[in-house]
Amino acid sequence: MVCDTAETVHVEKIWLKNYPPGVPAEIDPEQYPSLKHLFEEACRKHAARPAFTNLGRTLSYAETDELSRRFGAWLQNEAGLRKGDRIAMMMPNLLQYPIALFGALRAGLTVVNTNPLYTGRELEHQLNDSGATVMLIFEGACSTLQEVVARTPLKKVIVTGIGDMLGFPKGLITNLVVRHVKKMIPAWNLPGALRFNDVMSRGASLTLHPVEVGPEDIAFLQYTGGTTGVSKGAVLTHRNLVANTIQVVSWMPELERLQESVVITALPLYHIFALTSNCLVFTYVGGQNVLITNPRDMSAFVKELSKVKFSFITGVNTLFNGLLNTPGFDQLDFSSLKIALGGGMAVQGAVSERWRKLTGRDICQGWGLTETSPVATANRPDETRFTGAIGYPLPSTDVSIRDDDGSELQVGQVGEICVRGPQVMRGYWNRPEETAKVMLPGGWLRTGDIGRMDEKGLSYIEDRKKDMILVSGFNVYPNEVEGVVANMPEVLEVAAVAQDDEKSGEVVALFVVKKDPALTKEQVVAFCKKELTGYKIPRAIYFRDELPKTNVGKILRRELRDELRKPAA
The CATH number linked to 268 is: 3.40.50.12780
Same domain, 440 and 553: no
Same domain, 222 and 299: yes
Distance of CA 555 to the CA centre of its chain: 14
* Structural domain span for residue 520: 468-565
DSSP state of 8: E
Q: What are phi and psi of 462, to 5 degrees?
A: -90, -40
Same domain, 532 and 437: no
Q: What are phi and psi of 351, to 5 degrees?
A: -70, -45
Same domain, 180 and 70: yes
pLDDT of the residue at 468? 82
Among 305, 314, 250, which residue's Cα sits nearest to residue 277?
314
Same domain, 437 and 475: no
Same domain, 136 and 272: yes
pLDDT of the residue at 463? 75
Domain final residue, candidates 420, 450, 480? 450
CB 37 within 8 A of CB 25: no
Residues 180, 175: Cα–Cα separation, whole Å = 8
Identify whether 244 is part of a domain: yes
pLDDT of the residue at 18? 97
On the CB side of 399, CA atoms within 13 Å amount to 33
The overall longest dimension of the chain from CA atoms, in Å, is 73
Identify whether 8 is part of a domain: no
Identify whether 19 is part of a domain: no
Identify whether 528 is part of a domain: yes
pLDDT of the residue at 4? 43
Same domain, 119 and 48: yes
Domain final residue, candidates 417, 450, 483? 450
We report the CATH number of the domain holding residue 479 as 3.30.300.30
Identify whether 17 is part of a domain: no
The string of DSSP letters for 401-463 reads EE-TTSPBPPTT--EEEEEESTTS--EETT-HHHHHHHEETTTEEEEEEEEEE-TTS-EEEEE
CB 402 within 8 A of CB 425: no
pLDDT of the residue at 12? 82
3-state DSSP assignment of residue 385: coil
pLDDT of the residue at 481? 92
Q: How far apart, in Å, are the Cα atoms of 48 and each of 37, 40, 63, 425, 527? A: 19, 14, 9, 34, 56
Same domain, 493 and 408: no
Same domain, 421 and 487: no
CB 496 within 8 A of CB 482: yes
pLDDT in tens, 531-561: 888 889 999 999 999 999 988 898 999 899 9
pTM of full prediction above 0.85: yes
Residues 525, 119: Cα–Cα separation, whole Å = 38
List the chain pLDDT tens, one digit each, 569 residues.
443 433 444 568 999 999 999 999 999 999 999 999 999 999 999 999 999 999 999 999 999 999 999 999 999 999 999 999 999 999 999 999 999 999 999 999 999 999 998 889 889 999 999 999 999 999 999 999 999 999 999 999 999 999 999 999 999 999 999 999 999 999 999 999 999 999 999 999 999 999 999 999 999 999 986 434 578 999 999 999 999 999 999 999 888 877 679 999 999 999 999 999 999 999 999 999 999 999 999 999 999 999 999 999 999 998 999 999 999 999 999 999 999 999 887 888 999 999 999 999 999 999 999 999 999 999 999 988 888 999 999 999 999 999 988 899 999 999 999 999 999 999 999 999 999 999 999 999 999 999 999 999 999 988 777 788 888 878 788 988 999 999 999 999 999 999 998 888 899 999 999 999 999 999 999 999 998 888 899 999 999 999 999 888 989 998 999 999 887 65
CB 51 within 8 A of CB 283: yes
Domain final residue, candidates 450, 483, 516? 450
Same domain, 437 and 537: no
Q: No. of H helices and E strands in the chain?
A: 18, 29
Residues 11, 382: Cα–Cα separation, whole Å = 26
Contacts of 49 (CB under 8 A, 6+ apart): 60, 61, 286, 288
Q: Secondary structure of the chain: what % helix, strand, coil (to 5)?
A: 35, 25, 40
Same domain, 266 and 196: yes
Domains of the chain: total: 2
pLDDT of the residue at 227? 39
CB 355 within 8 A of CB 363: yes
Same domain, 438 and 477: no
Identify whether 10 is part of a domain: no
DSSP state of 57: E
Identify whether 266 is part of a domain: yes
Identify whether 23 is part of a domain: no
